[in-house]
A and B are shown apart, each in its own frame.
Chain A
Amino acid sequence: MELSLPRVLFLKCVTFCYICKRTVVSTKPIEPGKYMTFSVLDRCMEKNHIRMVYYYQSSLGEGEFGKMTKNLRETLSEMLNYYPMVTGRLVRDSEEKWKVKCNDAGVRVVEAKAKGSVEEWLKNVDSEKEHMLVYWEDMYHKPYYWSTFYVQITEFEEGGLAIGLSCFHLLADYTSATNFLKAWSDISLGNKITVLPLFHPLPSTRKRISNHHPYFELINHYKSSIERPIPIKEEKYTIISLGFSHQMVNACISKAQFNGPSGPITMTPFEALAGLFWASISNIKGLQNGLIDMSICLDARKLLGLDYGFFGNTMIYNKVHANGNLEGNIFVQATRYIREVVAKMDNEGIMDLIEWLEKNEMNSPRMINGPDLICVSLENVEPYLSVFEDWLKPLRVSCYIEPVLGEGQVLILPGTPEEGPLSRVVMVTLKEDEAIKLFEDDLISQFSPTIFMKC
């Protein structure tokens, strides 16, 4: 059980150190006896956790820093009134499944400070350094005392702030976590929360008239991941971050465009970039004219007719099949395969999956993002709207979905609004030697990405 903060190496301590750890609770007490259960989609994410880092520039002068953290804690307290699930603790129900007991225990908050300014930090950051800005503890032997959410506030001595949020994926996906931070920023500005969290079950499958052929591909993908053992690789991964400007993403999309039966078909930025990285990574891994196994992951809130405030998991994974030998431009082919799969992931298909998962509760997969390369679309929310009191917009937002145990992971996030609506930031998790090769790959470098984070 983690009690004291990890000791940092002497060298690192010069640039960074932890100050303290505490628990922050909501301002109003919760009625005792409330519980919240998880959906089948939540349970697929039981082995994962999310980490996010938001960087901010500060407009306050020096000597005001302790005050910033204090204000943040107070506004966090107020915001937690709307998230009883976050301040609760995990217990097992009669069927040995997890549920949350809303016992008002609070979230852990860690405070730290770093030397230099936030801009200096961002110039030399790598994933190891960034991990210092977002605190996480693995589940304790006794999960009843384990906080599912962690917030870290790091102040930079010469200006700037970093907010790190990590959470257990069982409770929330990237969209929910981003909305959590947005709610916090709303309260800090003295406003009402714009996207109120909604806690309710997934749309019911009972009233459906299912006399259609169920979409088996999704169900098969989930079925096969149960049968596959969870890989326990001891590989060393590294994470790099590349930024693509609006024009470059546009160029990428136009390159992937092809003529369909009813006119030219334009890819979405996700499809284009996912295809790009799929092709590039397959090349790096040695497949000259083929594509490695890949799964994509989308946020299905819109498809399920749910509000963006829905708090929970709606990430759906699906395998993209690359059939046989590929001819011509691998990149274009890759995007086409992705397009096909995305088109088939409609409301009916997802509801079929949910129905199947609910019927087969005993055999649900515990970890859906297995050994394939996974491309995740995280573009549905706008993290740059989280503006806290006194500061400017976030300078940068990073995200990690851990652990990565397969070929790798590609997260496609929106870029800063100033760069344009099509700009994107791609965070790639690969083995170290492969990541180095990625920088030199022609496919990628033709779109002149900005390197935000090196190996």
Chain B
Amino acid sequence: MPPMLPDFSNSVKLKYVKLGYQYLVNHIITLTLVPIMLGVSIEILRLGPQEILNLWNSLHFNLVQILCSAFLIIFVATVYFMSKPRTIYLVDYACFKPPVTCRVPFATFMEHSRLILKNNPKSVEFQMRILERSGLGEETCLPPAIHYIPPKPTMEAARGEAELVIFSAMDSLFKKTGLKPKDIDILIVNCSLFSPTPSLSAMVINKYKLRSNIKSFNLSGMGCSAGLISIDLARDLLQVHPNSNAVVVSTEIITPNYYQGNERAMLLPNCLFRMGGAAILLSNRRSERRRAKYRLVHVVRTHKGADDKAYRCVFEEEDKEGKVGISLSKDLMAIAGEALKSNITTMGPLVLPASEQLLFLLTLIGRKIFNPKWKPYIPDFKQAFEHFCIHAGGRAVIDELQKNLQLSTEHVEASRMTLHRFGNTSSSSLWYELNYIESKGRMKKGDRVWQIAFGSGFKCNSAVWKCNKTIKTPIDGPWTDCIDRYPVHIPEIVKL
């Protein structure tokens, strides 16, 4: 755990010193320009208009020089505008709202566990303890195939779940944006654990009769951070293809991956993963500038796969009885912390204000040159972002990040409440969290959002968005009927 600065920041005086320092450093250019401008204008006034005219005539310009300068300026301007990356707009997105009949209360989950694992009461006990501390609520949903006793995870059922989730989200997206299926130029679908042939993107193309020259991609096996990988891919494609629309579908299909064995490390995902999905419309068209909700500012991807421990951290394998499940290692949190550190090291210079970067640089130099015992300075990311969407991987993940980044309860509220209401919906959880913030009416124009996702590999990916227009409540989405009940207090342990 990274150590914190000595805590004399309670002192009010120091707070004002800090504010003053930040204002000084962040606006240094303005502050240096203002006296220069003042000096120049005073000089001009002193000289008087006649003097200025004489000064102007003394400069001998001939036509060639003027033309060359003009061309140079135009050339530089053109090169600048041409090489500027296209702005990627997030026009809108839609999250899948699971049907109420798929709801799984704790008691039902435990009962089914007990009936299926009747020869292993210890495994059932373990699942109960996980569920009690998980931070999930009583309204999370599992797909219909898992409701059977015993569960029936057939391929047909998995396809059924995929159709339900993806088509629902896409219909919702079409309705919200007025997008016509024929206008989709790029389609990216990411689903880590279910990868049939033909792919899920082919399934979407078939259902909505998309164009034959569509650029479609299907990402599988990339874990919970695949949503941001898809966004990154869409961004790169939208740089190459002008005037295009890209639809990204992020989901996780639970049906085929319900572990039916007894290994404890593999039972954990059963307790946390729930049904969910999201469809996002990205565009580089200038006409979308007005109505787009967000602009994509940065995407930073960090992969720790080179390290063996990180690679085996989340591993799909067969247990002793030959049943396939996803094994989570005990060092998961430590590795996540490392990956996060790596990510924010790259992210920091891109987003932090000059004041924070200067402080970080000074403490770094100090530690290297003067005294290695100086505590490293953790930049205050709260100054770079108004909202945080931390992947709702589990309560431990959110707690860890809250501690590491020194975030307040309100900053992590979106993540905690999404975990409570929808469970861990894998790559789409970031979108539910963003929707929570919007539903609460907290999203104003100019607000910056940081989405952080962790995934198998081990990866840590971040995306930074800037809000393009204030979003007015009430909005249509998965939180519509329950936003008034949130935030709820989630007890440490729910007694089952």
Name A's B-contacting residues (CB within 8 A).
1, 3-4, 20-25, 27, 29-30, 32, 73-74, 77, 89, 103-106, 108, 142, 145
Contacts and interface: CB of A to CB of B under 8 A. Distances in A.
B105 interface: yes
Interface of B: 100-101, 103-108, 111-112, 114-116, 118, 137-139, 147-150, 152, 494-496
Nearest to A104: B105
Contact of B101 (A4, A30, A74, A103): A74
B111 A104 contact: no
A29 B118 contact: no
Contacts of A105: 105, 107-108, 111
A30 B139 CA distance: 10
Question: Taking chain A's interface residues, is the majority helix, strand, or loop, or is none over half, making it mixed?
Answer: loop
A22 B148 contact: yes
Contacts of B100: 27, 77
Contact of B107 (A21, A104, A108, A142): A104
Given A3-B150, A104-B108, A105-B105, A29 B139 contact: yes
A145 B149 contact: no
Contacts of A27: 100-101, 103
Q: Which of A23, A74, A105: most chain B CB closer than 10 A?
A: A23
**7 closest cross-chain pairs (CB), A and B:** A29-B138, A105-B107, A103-B107, A27-B100, A104-B105, A22-B147, A145-B111
Contacts of A77: 100-101
B111 A29 contact: no
A77 B147 CA distance: 14
Contacts of A30: 105, 138
Contacts of B103: 25, 27, 29
Q: Which of B104, B149, B152: most chain A CB closer than 10 A?
A: B149
A1 B115 contact: yes
Contact of B138 (A3, A21, A89, A104): A104
Contacts of B147: 22-23
B44 to A, nearest CB: 73
Contacts of B107: 89, 103-106
Contacts of B106: 103-104
A375 to B, nearest CB: 38
Nearest to B113: A145
A280 to B, nearest CB: 45
14 contacts: A3-B116, A3-B149, A22-B148, A24-B101, A27-B100, A27-B101, A29-B139, A30-B138, A32-B494, A74-B101, A77-B101, A89-B111, A103-B496, A105-B111
A411 to B, nearest CB: 32
A29 B105 contact: yes
Contacts of A22: 147-149
Nearest to B496: A103
B101 A145 contact: no
A89 to B, nearest CB: 7
A20 to B, nearest CB: 5
Contact of B149 (A21, A32, A89, A104): A21
Contacts of B150: 3-4
Contacts of B111: 23, 89, 105, 145
A21 B152 CA distance: 10
Contacts of A74: 101
A103 B105 CA distance: 9
Contacts of A24: 101
Given A3-B118, A20-B148, A103-B107, 6 more contacts: A23-B108, A30-B105, A32-B495, A73-B101, A105-B108, A106-B105
A376 to B, nearest CB: 33
A301 B138 CA distance: 36
Nearest to B494: A32
B428 to A, nearest CB: 22
Q: Which of A73, A89, A105: most chain B CB closer than 10 A?
A: A105
A23 B106 CA distance: 13
A104 B138 CA distance: 9
A19 to B, nearest CB: 10
A23 B102 CA distance: 10
Contacts of A20: 148, 152
A20 B244 CA distance: 47
Given A1-B115, A145-B115, A25 B148 contact: no
A108 B148 CA distance: 10
Contacts of A4: 150
Q: Which of B105, B137, B148, B150: most chain A CB closer than 10 A?
A: B105
Contacts of A23: 108, 111-112, 147, 149
Nearest to B151: A22
B83 to A, nearest CB: 55
Nearest to B150: A3
Contacts of B495: 32
Contacts of B118: 1, 3
A105 B138 CA distance: 11
A106 B108 contact: yes
A24 B496 CA distance: 19
Contacts of B139: 29
B148 A21 contact: yes
A352 B20 CA distance: 84
